[in-house]
Amino acid sequence: MKNLPFNAFPTQFRPGDFSSLLAANGIDWQPPSPGQGLTAGPQQTQATTVLAIKFAGGVLMAGDRRATAGNVVVYDRADKVLPLDDFTLLGIAGVPAFAWEMARMLSHSFKYFRRSQLQELSLEGKLRSLSAILRGNLPWLMQGVGIVAPILASWEEASQGRLFTYDPLGAEFEGVSYATSGSGSGVIEAILLHRTRYEGKPLQQLNRDGAIALALQLLEAAADSDSATGGIRAAAGIYPSVHWIDGLGVQTAPESLLKKLQPTI
């Protein structure tokens, strides 16, 4: 095909801009905004809220159990804190269908690397893998569906526990002492900011039980302000998902411990 000279195009046309080419030929068209045309369909199921905090000897991650679609509670026993391997946790906030599939892909890829290379994938490799999966989700994200903003926590003997938040496009941000994501994250972050900055209570000085008790309090506070965040329902046996990582690997808080440490007010 013969290349056309630049001046062969209408003067209103900007090279690389398909919209201006259509406009120059009298066609009125604009690209749809994210989510346009989807409002008449079923509302997406959303999963929130998750948080991670460092404590003396490990990293704890917790998430409420509620999944919502608009103002409807779809499920009250959703697991939003998912072990990826013996020393890595993923906390999901956003659309669980996409987030759970991401977790399965990551878990299988970590296992494949371990078995094929006879060693664990490095933390840097795990971080890059999650970023790549989130970037691969861009087409769904641009349509207004499939939004996921996860938290990843991992343990390495050299660096101890580390935690990272991600935006939906895959950019990672390391948390110094805590991280949170989801619709209730604003309340949780405000409480932790006040605690660490103005009350002088470093989270890293908490023991494991102290960190669990704090996580339960934070999720209860978020549930009081955010209808999409589910609180503790002791009568129904519904407690947040709570896991931690230390030198022994991923550990799960039993319900008996959560009952013992739940807020009394």
Helix (H, G, I), strand (E, B) or coil at 3: coil
Full DSSP string of 190-221: HHHHHHHHTS---GGG--HHHHHHHHHHHHHH
Greater confidence (158 vs 193) lies with: 193
Q: Residue 218 falls within a domain, yes or no?
A: yes
Q: Is residue 222 part of a domain?
A: yes
Within 10 Å of residue 36's Cβ, how many Cβ atoms? 11
Domain ranges, residue 249 = 46-261
pLDDT tier, 215 (very low <50, low <70, confident <90, very high otherwise): very high
Nearest to 162 by CA among 236, 263, 54: 54
- Evaluate the omega torsion of the peptide bond into residue 49 and state whether it is cis, within 30 degrees of 0: yes
Reported as a pLDDT band with limits 50, 70 and 90, residue 113 is: very high
* Mean predicted confidence (pLDDT) in 222-231: 93
Examine residue 11 and state whether it is found in any structural domain, yes or no: no
Q: Catalytic: which of 39, 45, 48, 196?
A: 48
Q: What's the pLDDT score for residue 138?
A: 87
Stretch 186-204: mean pLDDT, rounded? 92
pLDDT above 70 as % of the chain:
85
Average pLDDT over residues 37-53: 71
- On whether residue 115 sits in a domain, the answer given is yes
Q: Determine contact, residues 65/240, Cβ cutoff 8 Å.
A: yes
Residue 134 has pLDDT above 60, yes or no: yes
pLDDT of residue 6: 46
In CATH, what number is assigned to the domain containing residue 203? 3.60.20.10
**Cβ 94 vs Cβ 45: under 8 Å:** no
Handedness of CA 121, 79, 151, 200 (dihedral sign): negative
Does some domain include residue 206?
yes
Provide the pLDDT for residue 265.
66
Residue 228 lies in a domain: yes
Question: Measuring CA to CA, how many Å separate 23 from each of 15, 17, 18, 251?
Answer: 13, 10, 9, 59
Residue 127 lies in a domain: yes
Assess whether 68 carries a catalytic annotation.
no
- Could you tell me if residue 34 is inside a domain? no
Q: How many domains does the chain have?
A: 1
CB 229 within 8 A of CB 183: yes
The least confident of 35-44, 74-83, 132-141, 229-238 is 35-44
Torsion of CA 198, 204, 206, 207, to 10 degrees: 180
pLDDT tens digits, 71-93: 889 999 999 999 999 999 999 99
pLDDT band at 38 (very low <50, low <70, confident <90, very high): very low
Going by C-alpha positions, the residue among 113, 69, 112, 77 that lies closest to residue 94 is: 69
Residue 253 has pLDDT above 70, yes or no: yes
pLDDT tens sequence across 3-15: 545 455 455 555 5
pLDDT tens, 150-174? 999 999 877 789 999 999 999 999 9
CB atoms within 10 A of CB 60: 30
Q: To 10 degrees, the CA torsion angle through 119, 53, 132, 78?
A: 100
Alpha carbon distance 137, 95 (integer Å):
12
Contacts within 8 Å (CB) and 24+ apart, 137-146 = 137/98, 137/102, 137/168, 138/169, 140/98, 141/34, 141/168, 141/169, 142/34, 143/34, 143/35, 143/38, 144/34, 144/35, 144/36, 144/38, 145/35, 145/38, 145/44, 145/95, 146/94, 146/95, 146/98
Question: How far is the C-alpha of 186 from the C-alpha of 180, rounded, in Å?
Answer: 8
Total residues belonging to the chain:
265
The answer to which of 135-149, 168-182, 210-224 has the lowest mean pLDDT is: 135-149
Lowest model confidence (mean pLDDT) among 20-24, 50-54, 102-106, 214-218: 20-24
**Amino acid symbol at 23:** A
Residue 127: is its pLDDT beyond 60?
Answer: yes
pLDDT band at 25 (very low <50, low <70, confident <90, very high): confident
